[in-house]
Amino acid sequence: MTRRLSLSVAIERWPIAGSFTISRGSKTEAMVVVAELGDGKARGRGECVPYARYGETVEGVAAAIEALRPRLEAGLDRSGLQAALPPGAARNALDCAFWDLEAKATGRSAAELAGLPPLKPLVTAYTISIGAPEEMARAAEREAQRPLLKVKLGRDGDPARIAAVRRAAPGATLIVDANEGWDERHLEANLAACAEAGVTLVEQPLPDGRDGALARIARPIAVCADESAHARDSLAALTGRYDAVNVKLDKAGGLTEALAMAAEAERLGLKLMVGCMVATSLSMAPAVLVAQRADVVDLDGPLLLARDRPEPLHYAGSRVDPPSPALWG
């Protein structure tokens, strides 16, 4: 029997503790879109973060979700959703709402529905925003007890920044995210500076579409695709240029595609990173499922907020526990 679903859509603003700064700019709040699906007995939620880098806006994403209301009311299911919307934030919110609804309706966890073993706690990276070297050093010193720090770079003077962070946090494992901020002229020098600082991975050093130089140099440390990696069909072209891929549900268009991307990345011999946007625990919860198989986990979004939603993920330092059914899944 066709299941006819009700839909609600909301735009929410969540203040960031201080500010969050990458090579493309700063923000002081996270704007998210939440989709909720109901079948008359149970309700499921999904949260997404529209990504301006890909031309998304909160209004546009909310409108794209709202436009599917007639088809949801007529019986559109999670399988049909994959063709109804392209990869991106709108499909992510609805896809995750479908998973949550099914979990609530059946009394089975989303992990069980996905065929996964029981979820385990994870160790997540914690992000250090880009700034002057002395500012970044102070931020790193405050978080030096964490086992894994993600350092935002992508501007002139990055060798001084990463050296300052390393001095401030000598015991932490460091990864770097340049957010497409480097160019070919400085690529090898910046990678060398990262290697000297003991960095283990660099995300997206060059702009998407202008990253061919990565195939022509000897990469001293692993390089991970982020903005160059979208859904499954983007992964094959990454081989030879990248060593790893960052799977984010907002890019992939939901948990369904993210699980498939993770499997395809492994098939291609790419290491797996699971990342996030700055958002609440509701965005992170589905990503915890994908992150069970990841080499690097970066799900610190709620730690960067001034407050989180009720029944949040439990963070103990850098350890994050699986979500409770009250939150999602």
Examine the residue annotation and report whether 120 is marked as an active-site residue of this protein: no
Checking DSSP bridges between strand 222-225 and strand 199-203, what pairing results, if any? parallel
Examine the residue annotation and report whether 152 is marked as an active-site residue of this protein: yes
- The single residue of 27, 41, 120, 248 carrying the catalytic annotation is 248
- The single residue of 41, 104, 120, 152 carrying the catalytic annotation is 152
Residues with active-site annotation: 152, 248
